[in-house]
Amino acid sequence: MLIRTPQKFINNIDQFHVVNWLISEECNEDCKFCLCEPGKGHLKIAKARAVIDILSKKKINVIKFTGGEPLLYPGIWDVLAYAKSKNIETHLHTNGLLLTEEYLNSIGSYVDVLGICLDGSTQKIQTIVSRPANHFDHTINILRNRNLSGSKIAVRTLLCDSNKDDIINIGNLLCEYNITCWIIFQFRALGRGKTNRACFEISDDAYAGIQDQLDNCFKDRLKIVIISKDIAHSPYFFINSQGDVFTIHPEKEENIFLGNILEDDFNILFDHVYNAHAVLKMQI
């Protein structure tokens, strides 16, 4: 089943349920497409809990903890547990290199959806996409031991020029494992991706053609969620490692910073995100 994520505009704060939180922008990889800004530091655990209190009061249902590498945040398990205590669905998006068997044995107590990365069907392709030498084997080991985690598994793939010819092979590989869904992101030139655009950018026509291939090959075998670069036209609500709120400019491929979750009124921040996109939508 192929799900093409639609462009959508949330015009009512009561419809707003998901926050993407880059809780640590540090990373143990050096991917050439990363959108993060390492070196910013991170919030103390008490302030991270305060962020969760704010989001909980605003009836946020889902927090996607990402980065960078969220497992480099010193208090990540405490923060995940605290979010769960507030009845918030927790998603952990990690490269997986720090997920030991011990963590996988207990991760279901902290994480509802575990997102791990796979950008090639072999280590060679993974390396071309700029993942380190041990990444492929580590990811496959997590998939083989999927029953250890107790969390739903979402495999995340960056679809770019470097791996577009391998995408069907990746899908065939994933059919061997019990995953919840396969999320495929179109490359977008943000952060380091701007400098390395030539290595990764894929045309919209090529991207559309690959979607048709995926639909034909995996219609009854995998749940696939397609995240095109045009999804940035929607008012996605991001929080960075310092608590700053931002959204993504749909045309200029840059972040628009709008305030701080700990310092500014949440409703006003939401309005800033929505209004920024409403204005930009009229301009494009």
- Res. 73: pLDDT tops 60: yes
| 12 — pLDDT class (breaks 50, 70, 90) | very low
The stretch 167-179 carries a mean pLDDT of: 95
Q: Which pLDDT belongs to residue 283?
A: 40
Q: Which pLDDT belongs to residue 233?
A: 47
- The model's pLDDT over 238-247, given as tens digits with 9 standing for 90+, comes to 999 999 998 8
- Res. 279: pLDDT tops 60: no
Q: Which pLDDT belongs to residue 79?
A: 98
The stretch 87-110 carries a mean pLDDT of: 92
Return the SS3 of 104.
Answer: helix
- Name the domain count of the chain: 1
Instruction: Give the CA distances from residue 45 to residues 15, 80, 126, 217, in Å, rounded to whole numbers and listed in that order.
Output: 28, 11, 34, 45
Q: Which pLDDT belongs to residue 16?
A: 55
Task: Flag the least confident range among 38-47, 53-62, 171-180, 252-261.
Answer: 252-261
We report the CATH number of the domain holding residue 177 as 3.20.20.70
Q: Which pLDDT belongs to residue 11?
A: 46
Domain that holds residue 183: 2-283
| 278 — pLDDT class (breaks 50, 70, 90) | low
- The model's pLDDT over 176-231, given as tens digits with 9 standing for 90+, comes to 998 999 999 888 888 888 888 888 899 888 888 998 899 999 988 999 988 877 66
3-state class percentages of the chain: helix first, strand second, coil last, to nearest 5: 40, 20, 40
List the one residue out of 8, 26, 28 whose CA is nearest residue 18. 8
List the one residue out of 110, 104, 71, 76 whose CA is nearest residue 90. 110
| 7 — pLDDT class (breaks 50, 70, 90) | very low
- The model's pLDDT over 104-125, given as tens digits with 9 standing for 90+, comes to 888 999 999 999 999 999 999 9
pTM, rounded to two decimals: 0.89
Q: What phi and psi values does residue 224 have, to the nearest 5 degrees? A: -115, 130
CB 16 within 8 A of CB 237: yes
